[in-house]
Structure 1
Amino acid sequence: MHPPASRPRRRRGRSRPAVATALTAAALLALDAAAGPATAAAPAADRQAPATSRPHRTTQPPTPTTPAPTPTASAPAPAPAPTGAAWSGGFAGYGSETWRRAWGVAGSGSWGGGDLTEAAETGVRGGAALRVRYGARSSAPSCTDCADTGGGQFSTDLRSLGLADLATGRTLDLRYRVRFPAGHDWGKAGKLPGLYGGPIGEASGGNHGGWSTRFMWRGRNGVPDNGEVYVYTPAGEGYGVDSGLGSWTWPADDRWHTVEQLVDRTTGDVTVWFDGRQVHSAPGVVAGIGSIPFGGIFFSTFYGGHEAAWGPASVQYAYFADFSLSAGVQH
């Protein structure tokens, strides 16, 4: 007969692994809930020739679409700063001296301040977007038959931000988010922010001592919201050059969309991504700018052209947020 099996003795002073694991997980969940989502602190009119790919994905879920030009009621947590960004800026405190320093706003070349306002907005860094008002039949400030104003413009200076290495670098990448309310009236065409180089005031219009690569929307072949890059270089005369017209469109769906452009000063190449998908590549389109340093962001948006016929039939709005710069692609 076998002797009765003895019961193993329990050692005192040791916790059970399962209990410890559960307690640890609960504690971590509690800490995560208390911490919440992180947010990042917000750190000349030109002449236009007469006007005669759809996005791959969106970065935000749908929000209610209403005619009223008000910020969305709810949205996901603020997006983190793009990986590799050398500089990023939002619009909390827009117009203040602190905001101007954080953006490196140049002392000249600005206009339209009354149509650019800060708007509370969830889902963007700093909790604020820039709302731009475009008056009915408005155009550039050079318009002589416009009954209302619309849009605005300012330039940033990389060197004043301590980013001389970006100014003299081979490539510069600009990324930002834009939202057009549902039912947006596109008029004939209009400008959107891009990059520039050279003296402020000489990156557009008839004086081309510098260069610029602003985005545009332009109606063509029955499509009112074609995207393109509108290029000025010192080699150009008069009007700018359309690059990639219709390679993508700007959806008026009241959702945030991300647009990005990379300019190579050495080769003159410009590459565009919309919602993370490459939609346009233009080898050598800004050739000859290698000796002109990057200036920074050319925040320029208005309808036109420079005549009332370019503008919308009624007051329109657009929203901008989450600007960032990098020496390389950010998406």
Structure 2
Amino acid sequence: MEISHLIPVDTFQSGFTACPFLLLDKVDSVPLKDSELGVHKVTSRTNHPLVVPPAAADTVDWPAPSLAWEAFYPQGSINPPARIPGGFGFYLSGPPAFAAKLESGATHVVLSYRMMLQSGWEWVKGGKLPGVFGGEGDFSYACAGGRQDSRCKCFNIRPMWRSKGLGELYTYLPLTANNRERLLAVPPSSKENSDYGFSVGRSAFKFDIAVGKWVSLSFRVKLNTVGAEDGELELWVEGKSVIKAVGLTLRDSEHSRIKGAHFQTFFGGHQDDWASSKDQRAWFADLSGVIIE
């Protein structure tokens, strides 16, 4: 990968990175530490230790991360509240200067990280990976897990792997007719899940490239002008735009904000047939973000 894949836009106001090899003007370097990155609301019964990750199976153009957050998915584990919790979950707002710009009303943001799945990874039926969240105040922290009420006050956009490593964006956005039409039009395949969110762009990419190798994921979120349908979301994998949706509504109030990253990962689904088939691990590093406007 090219390290510039972490910030796949040419123009931005300011930003941060935990990647020591990414040296750009207006981008502050920070360590991959909870205290430096505004980590909060850590899911009970999970942890995200900072470890030295294993060597990647393939060589890459840029050095592999020397430290990473490790997610552990025990055999039989599904989502964190389940009998056997797996993965981890927390929210982060970024370093203080970045978080302050989010809270003051930044409307166009990119957040990125690198990830690696262990060699011999088994997909089962699927699972979630870290993404972006936002909304009005505390409503922003509850826009997932099947929530249907107050959906106009929050949004949550996370990648998901499916069986055989097929990738998609799993989105919770305000429930408008236009959002439904726009999301279902995203190729190659999109689906409305009746009790949960929308599966957007399924099979637009595959996560098999992350098995034993470091891969970059970057998320661009642009809030709509209140009263207009001009919001946008986009996902890059290894610097390539693989999913994009425009003409969206992400908010209906000026009080709604892009809050940061919902850094959550687990197998599931909520049923046992989604559970990890064996003990497995994944690693996450080089968290980065920029304010476009």
TM over 0.5: yes
Deviates more, 1:127-136 or 1:280-289: 280-289
Which structure 1 residue ranges, 4+ long, deviate > 6 Å from structure 2?
none
Which residue of structure 2 lines up, in the alignment, with residue 24 of structure 1?
A: none
Whether 2:162 is the aligned partner of 1:218: answer yes
* Unpaired segments ≥5 residues, structure 2: 4-18, 56-62, 177-193, 225-229
Measure how far apart 1:118 and its partner are. Answer: 1.8
Measure how far apart 1:275 and its partner are. Answer: 0.7
Which whole-Å CA distance do the structure 1 matches of 2:169 and 2:278 have between them? 26
Measure how far apart 1:157 and its partner are. Answer: 2.9
Query: Once the two structures are superposed, what CA deviation does each residue of 1:69-126 show, in whole Å capped at 9, x if it has no partner?
Result: xxxxxxxxx75236367566553xxxxxxx33211122x3533434x2221147455x
CA shift in 2, pair 1:235/1:153, >3 Å: same
Q: Which amino acid aligns with 2:141?
A: G
8 Å contact 1:89–1:324 — kept in the other structure? no
Measure how far apart 1:149 and its partner are. Answer: 2.2
Which residue of structure 2 lines up, in the alignment, with residue 150 of structure 1?
A: 86
Whether 2:152 is the aligned partner of 1:195: answer no
8 Å contact 2:36–2:94 — kept in the other structure? no
**Structural mapping, 1:269-280, within 5 Å:** 269-280=232-243
Higher relative contact order (CA 8 A, sep 6+): 2
8 Å contact 2:71–2:281 — kept in the other structure? yes
Identity over aligned residues, as a percent?
26
8 Å contact 1:103–1:161 — kept in the other structure? no
Q: Which amino acid aligns with 1:226?
A: L
Q: Which amino acid aligns with 2:109?
A: L
8 Å contact 1:104–1:161 — kept in the other structure? no
Which residue of structure 2 lines up, in the alignment, with residue 71 of structure 1?
A: none
Measure how far apart 1:328 and its partner are. Answer: 3.5
Which residue of structure 2 lines up, in the alignment, with residue 283 of structure 1?
A: 246
Measure how far apart 1:290 and its partner are. Answer: 6.3
Which residue of structure 2 lines up, in the alignment, with residue 81 of structure 1?
A: 22
8 Å contact 1:88–1:323 — kept in the other structure? no
Aligned partner of residue 283 in structure 1, secondary structure = strand
Which residue of structure 2 lines up, in the alignment, with residue 204 of structure 1?
A: 144
Which residue of structure 1 lines up, in the alignment, with residue 68 of structure 2?
A: 129
Which whole-Å CA distance do the structure 1 matches of 2:218 and 2:264 have between them? 15
Q: Which amino acid aligns with 2:134?
A: G
CA shift in 2, pair 1:150/1:169, >3 Å: same
CA shift in 2, pair 1:156/1:88, >3 Å: farther
Which residue of structure 1 lines up, in the alignment, with residue 207 of structure 2?
A: 250
Which residue of structure 1 lines up, in the alignment, with residue 58 of structure 2?
A: none
**Structural mapping, 1:25-40, within 5 Å:** none
Q: RMSD of the alignment, in Å?
A: 2.7
Q: Which amino acid aligns with 1:149?
A: P
CA shift in 2, pair 1:244/1:293, >3 Å: same
* Unpaired segments ≥5 residues, structure 1: 1-57, 61-77, 92-98
Whether 2:64 is the aligned partner of 1:100: answer no
Which residue of structure 2 lines up, in the alignment, with residue 297 of structure 1?
A: 261
Which whole-Å CA distance do the structure 1 matches of 2:154 and 2:222 have between them? 15
Q: Which amino acid aligns with 1:120?
A: V
Aligned partner of residue 162 in structure 2, secondary structure = strand
Out of 167, 178, 182, which is 1:227 matched to? 167
Q: Which amino acid aligns with 1:268?
A: G
Measure how far apart 1:160 and its partner are. Answer: 5.1
Q: Which amino acid aligns with 2:242?
A: V
**TM-score of the pair, normalised by structure 1:** 0.64
Hey, which of these two has a bigger chunk of strand by percent?
Answer: 2
Measure how far apart 1:301 and its partner are. Answer: 0.4
Measure how far apart 1:136 and its partner are. Answer: 1.1
Q: Which has the larger radius of gyration?
A: 1
8 Å contact 1:158–1:295 — kept in the other structure? no
8 Å contact 2:46–2:80 — kept in the other structure? no
**TM-score of the pair, normalised by structure 2:** 0.72
CA shift in 2, pair 1:87/1:176, >3 Å: farther
**Structural mapping, 1:5-16, within 5 Å:** none
Which whole-Å CA distance do the structure 2 matches of 1:289 and 1:327 have between them? 21
Which whole-Å CA distance do the structure 1 matches of 2:68 and 2:78 have between them? 22
CA shift in 2, pair 1:162/1:180, >3 Å: closer
